[in-house]
Amino acid sequence: MKDSAPVQKEKQISRWITVVSIAVPLVVVILFGVRLPGVEPLGFLPPVYASINGLTAVLLIAALWAIKNGNRGLHQKLMTTCIALSLLFLMMYVAYHMTSDSTSYGGTGVLRYVYFFILISHIFLSIVVIPLVLRTYAKAYLKDFEGHRKIARITFPVWLYVAVSGVVVYLMISPYYPY
């Protein structure tokens, strides 16, 4: 039977994860409807935040390599960096959309269907990955490494897909940006 203090801490963290997992997508949707008056469009941001997605993907793979090779310290630093990069991405993404109109994909034929499949799955999984990442990180924080490993087997491929598909979406839509 678990000691009640760690169980209480886990419940408290779980509540916060639930709140954050609901609040972040809602705030993003709300902010998408806000235009900052008098602010020039931040058209330089899409390649920057796409690069952040690419770097996140590389660091996720490096973190997997680190833990597979027994380097828990490096793994922890890399994963913390991935979370920080994801937050930075989110802030830039919202800032861009608060200053710029959405860009329509101009491709045709099969590529149009491929683009929208990747975009829709990217958006859906970017919402799903929030609680996965937070729960995985919390398990490690609480030193429940067995639980951490178990959920990380789900979190890792979802997060990697979100990071890589973000780059692919950018590369596919970048010819249509007005800047």
Which ranges of 100-109 does DSSP label H, i.e. alpha helix?
none
For each of the domains in the chain, give its residue range(s) and CATH number, in order of start.
4-176 (1.20.120.80)
64-84 per-position pLDDT tens digit? 999 999 999 999 999 999 999
State the pLDDT at residue 2: 54
State the pLDDT at residue 3: 63
Among 15-24, 32-41, 107-116, 125-134, the range scoring the smallest mean pLDDT is 32-41
98-116 per-position pLDDT tens digit? 999 889 999 999 999 999 9
What is the share, in percent, of the chain residues with pLDDT greater than 70? Answer: 98
The pTM of this model reads 0.92
Report which of 117, 88, 89 is spatially closest to residue 105, judged by C-alpha positions: 117
User: Furthest-apart CA pair in the chain: how many Å?
Assistant: 60
Cα gap 91→13, rounded to integer Å: 23
- Phi/psi class of residue 37: alpha, beta or left (left: φ > 0; alpha: ψ in -120 to 50)? beta
